[in-house]
A and B are shown apart, each in its own frame.
Chain A
Amino acid sequence: MSKILTGWVGGCVWYLERRAVQESPHKFMHLLKNVNKQWITFQHFNFLRRMYATQLSRSLNQQVKPKPEPMTSSFLEKTSSCQAKTEIYEMRSLSPPSLSLSRKPNEKELIELDSPAIIEGSIETGKETENEKQWKEMKLHLDDLPGILARLSKIKLTALVVSTTSAGFALAPGPFDLPCFLLTFVGTGLASCAANSINQFFEVPFDSNMNRTKNRPLVRGQISPLLAVSFATCCAVPGVALLTWGVNPLTGALGAFNIFLYTCCYTPLKRISIANTWVGAVVGAIPPVMGWTAATGSLDAGAFLLGGILYSWQFPHFNALSWGLREDYSRGGYCMMSVTHPALCRRVALRHCLALIGLSTAAPLLDVTTWTFPIISLPINLYISYLGFRFYTEADRKSSRRLFFCSLWHLPLLLLLMLTCKQPQGRKSNKGEPQA
């Protein structure tokens, strides 16, 4: 167990050294907080940081103002000049057949605005060239493939998932089996990559319309949907096979079930009902359970406890995050509590912060940890509950962001504390596991 701890801490430090330019670590807790911020929600963090920086100087308000490029008024001017350029250009190249056949409303307007637009055409040349430069050939370069696949599989999120699985494995009773651990690690990682790839495959037009997700590989056309699906299959099949035959069938079944739950239930449900958040919380809870079942081969109370902790954690984490994305969710057609049931959103977040205290207390009762754990985890659990309460009462962007950022360091720290307080082997065990 101490080896795992050292390994994880070592991993954190190594990761931090890579990010040394961007971070200013001084204390260990600060290290952990920053590493996990980077790991878990790098994109969220940057997006929110930018938003925070621009909006800090003024209150967060929606403005009625003429947009720099209003949808209606200058719409005709811009597209008319574009049409002029296109007409000139099209004479040189082969004209695409589809252009004349399409019947979009904006093109009807364009036809009427030919003549003045040609004069404007030359003014637009600079913009045109810039626009042309942004066109990219959809040719797959093998050098880029690892980076593209890493983004497709949401590698940072996968890393978090795998670390919760590792925590589940480490917290399970019984001697630590390194080969089994490695197989679980790799199998879960592959399963997570597969699930994330399919999720992105389903969500291309929605991702294009949200700031947080608009630079994903499929959105940018860096790979084709076929390749994304092939990659997902090439991860899912070996991943689940590895878990089923390399570890045990229970873990394999959980892995396959989780992939199904995430891709076929959670992803479509996001646009149908707010129940998606609860399903998503289960998806997040299963990996540590898988770690536990990999080590013990059975679904014990301890597995459910760990799953319960991850399940409860999802709510303050996600509900707080979604509070600042309400406009994007609404426009994109996502059914999220923060949009449709804001009071419920905050209530659920608070409720589950408090549940974390309860679950931490249940840990020694189920022989997962010693009694030290609920005591030393009380400060951080109380703190997140306090922030959850602030979010519940204040219901503003500031409190949601504070709760969200707290959740980022709260979870790894909680798991770390659990590991340090793990019930030593050889002591009382009511699970009937064979002890060394």
Chain B
Amino acid sequence: MAALRLRNKPLYPLLCRALSGCGPQLAPERGAERRDAAPSRVSRFGPPGTSCHDWIGPPDKYSNLRPVHFYIPEDESPSERKLRELRQETQEWNQRFWAKQNRTFHQEKEAFIHTRLTAKGLGLSAESGRKATLNAEEMADFYKEFLSKNFKKHMRYNRDWYRRNFAITFFMGKVALERMWRRLRRKQDITRA
């Protein structure tokens, strides 16, 4: 992976990579075996061994969030590890919340429809054989109820999400600056040698 060697790289693409939150491009001569932190829920995907970036997948069926495979570089510094672990943990936390939220929503929605239809005496199938339905206005009662019932939960999630988001971005900035500093020092050492 000679192309990934640091020494001959112009600074600008490095900056982009640093800002985009990817791991450093260092790889030993023979090509790195990729080390990964996979999303902890079941993932069938493994990125190619030659890649030195994170990989992002399609939206999860339950949470609608896109899982990320985090790349673990060979020379991962403590702050980089901390960032990666924070991102990993936040991803899992988000996944848990939204999968549960969506599941609960759908379950409660179907229960609501069932209850209402039964109350109307309609049952699940109308006489014509088509599925019995509730119109959007009747569903509005459910939406309102769901929202007010889960208000406190949403507030807690919001607070935590904002905190995590800021922390991740702050650490990304810190890591990016550290990487740039390390590379500048390395270049200085090379030119001095």
Contacts and interface: CB of A to CB of B under 8 A. Distances in A.
Instruction: Decide if A and B are genuine partners.
Output: yes
A71 B62 contact: yes
B99 to A, nearest CB: 8
A94 B69 CA distance: 13
Given A101-B40, A339-B143, A61 B59 contact: no
Interface in B106-155: 106-107, 109-110, 113-114, 117, 124, 131-140, 142-144, 146-148, 150-151, 154-155
Interface in B48-87: 49, 51, 53-59, 61-66, 68-69
B37 A208 contact: no
A128 B40 contact: no
Contacts of B110: 64
A137 B47 contact: yes
A98 B57 contact: no
Contact of A340 (B139, B142, B144): B144
B134 A61 contact: yes
A54 interface: no
A106 interface: yes
A226 B21 contact: yes
Given A230-B19, A327-B139, A205 B58 contact: no
Nearest to B117: A64
A102 interface: yes
B65 to A, nearest CB: 5
A2 interface: no
Given A98-B40, A205-B65, A331-B102, A139 B53 contact: yes
B42 A226 contact: no
- Residue of A69, A272, A330 with most chain B CB atoms under a 10 A cut-off: A330
Contact of A205 (B47, B133, B161): B161
Nearest to B36: A96
Interface residues of A, number: 74
Contacts of B40: 96, 98-99, 101-102, 104
Nearest to A102: B40
Interface in A206-221: 208-209, 214, 219-221
A221 B172 contact: no
A119 B8 CA distance: 50
A225 B172 contact: yes
Contact of A227 (B19, B36, B55, B132): B19
A279 to B, nearest CB: 16
A63 B133 contact: yes
A205 B94 contact: yes
B44 A59 contact: no
18 contacts: A62-B133, A62-B138, A63-B131, A71-B62, A71-B107, A82-B42, A85-B44, A86-B44, A94-B35, A96-B36, A99-B38, A99-B40, A137-B53, A208-B66, A226-B21, A226-B173, A271-B158, A326-B139
Given A63-B113, A138-B53, 7 more contacts: A63-B132, A94-B33, A202-B162, A221-B56, A271-B154, A330-B142, A331-B105
Interface of B: 13, 16-17, 19-22, 33-38, 40-47, 49, 51, 53-59, 61-66, 68-69, 88, 92, 94, 96, 98, 101-103, 105-107, 109-110, 113-114, 117, 124, 131-140, 142-144, 146-148, 150-151, 154-155, 157-158, 161-162, 165, 168-169, 172-173, 176
Interface of A: 59-65, 67, 69, 71-72, 79, 82-83, 85-86, 89, 92-94, 96-99, 101-102, 104, 106-107, 110, 128, 131-132, 134-140, 142, 201-202, 204-205, 208-209, 214, 219-221, 223-227, 229-230, 268, 271-272, 326-327, 329-331, 333, 335, 339-340, 342, 395-397
7 smallest CB-CB distances across A and B, nearest first, come from: A61-B133, A102-B40, A330-B143, A221-B56, A333-B154, A224-B21, A96-B38
